[in-house]
Amino acid sequence: MHHKSIDNFLAAAASWARGPLAMVFVEDEVEIDTTLRHHRDCRFKTIVAFMPDAFPMAPDLEPDIHRVTYSTVQPGAVAEAVNKVIAAAPGIWMYYCYNAEYLFYPFSETRSVGEMLAFHKEERREAMLTYVIDLYADDLGACPNAVSLERAHLDRTGYYALARLDPLTGHAKERQLDFFGGLRWRFEEHVPSNSRRIDRIGLFQSKPGLTLGPDHTFDDDEYNTYACPWHHNLTAAICSFRTAKALKRNPGSTYDIDTFRWHNSARFDWHSRQLLDFGLMEPGQWF
């Protein structure tokens, strides 16, 4: 279904307000169809693609996707759209990502995202921390935009966390950390300081008044925690070519980078087991 504007989409909430709901924000024409198919395979009940009319979508996807004419060019456009969807459909699980990003969660090959979130909800959690794990092609000569599903690599190590400080008190916030690593860490001289974190609350339950900020955190502090006070909870990973694309597209960095490979690069297997083995997501109490 094609909605000509976000207002038209919101007005038709009765046709899409079912969760889990995935919002995919399309910034360019790279891997649009594979992104949508991947999240369809996760068995989201509703998938919404926010994208300009000029970008193509495969015909086989059109019956399953709510396509909304929308541009992500303006700063804050993604958070604005997410907040409008939250207000229009409170009480359901939601997820958001960009094109060329792929959600993985523990045992995602055999269990649906709905099953995973049902367990997470039973643990009295309303949000889930997702780590954005950078993917990149191993050969930039063969793949100048740094994107290749067949040659995708990721960093097996080099991730770390720092205490998240409350700006009002200067003290560390409870059960909140700022996570770093991947290409944003290795090539930090080309990345603005406010864009270096790799944590995102990618999965959350909408509710009245909930607001997403431009830094990928919510105004409800409990949503920004990585676990409950009692034990570890599930976390997930969003495997993303977005940083690699940007570093090769940006004139200020592209000529400084001949390769993204280093001694800690590993070929990406496109399987949740590899991410669990590398410690890039947490199964919590879910088996």
- Which amino acid is it at 196? R
- Please report the DSSP string for 147-167 in residue order: --STTEEEESS--EEEEEEPT
Determine the Cα angle at 200 with ends 140 and 216, to 5°. Answer: 110
For residue range 170-196, list pLDDT tens digits in order: 899 999 999 999 999 999 999 999 999
Domains observed in the chain: 1-99 (3.40.50), 101-287 (no CATH)
Contacts of residue 25, defined as CB under 8 A and 6 or more positions apart, other chains included, come to 50, 51, 70, 72, 78, 81, 96, 97, 98, 99
pLDDT confidence bin for 51, thresholds 50/70/90: very high
pLDDT of residue 142: 95
Has residue 168 got a pLDDT over 90?
Answer: no
pLDDT confidence bin for 42, thresholds 50/70/90: very high
User: Among 14-18, 24-28, 107-111, 243-247, where is mean pLDDT lowest?
Assistant: 14-18
pLDDT of residue 167: 86
Has residue 110 got a pLDDT over 80?
Answer: yes
**How far is residue 89 from each of residues 78, 174, 183, 221, measured CA to CA in Å?**
17, 29, 35, 21
For residue range 252-266, list pLDDT tens digits in order: 899 999 999 999 999
pLDDT of residue 241: 98
Has residue 205 got a pLDDT over 90?
Answer: yes
Q: Which two tokens stand for residue 107?
A: 């045992």
Place of tokens 């916030």: 173
Report how far residue 35's alpha carbon sits from residue 43's, in angstroms, rounded to the nearest whole number: 13
What count of residues does the chain have?
287
Place of tokens 């959600």: 103
For residue range 212-226, list pLDDT tens digits in order: 999 999 999 999 999
Mean of all residue pLDDT scores within the chain: 95
Q: What are the φ/ψ torsions at residue 238 (nearest 5 degrees)?
A: -110, 105
Mean pLDDT, range 72-83, rounded to an integer: 94
pLDDT of residue 286: 85
**How far is residue 88 from each of residues 83, 118, 188, 208, 243, measured CA to CA in Å?**
9, 22, 38, 9, 31
pLDDT confidence bin for 272, thresholds 50/70/90: very high
Has residue 243 got a pLDDT over 80?
Answer: yes
pLDDT of residue 116: 97
pLDDT of residue 65: 96
CB burial of residue 204 (10 Å; 0-12, 13-18, 19+): buried
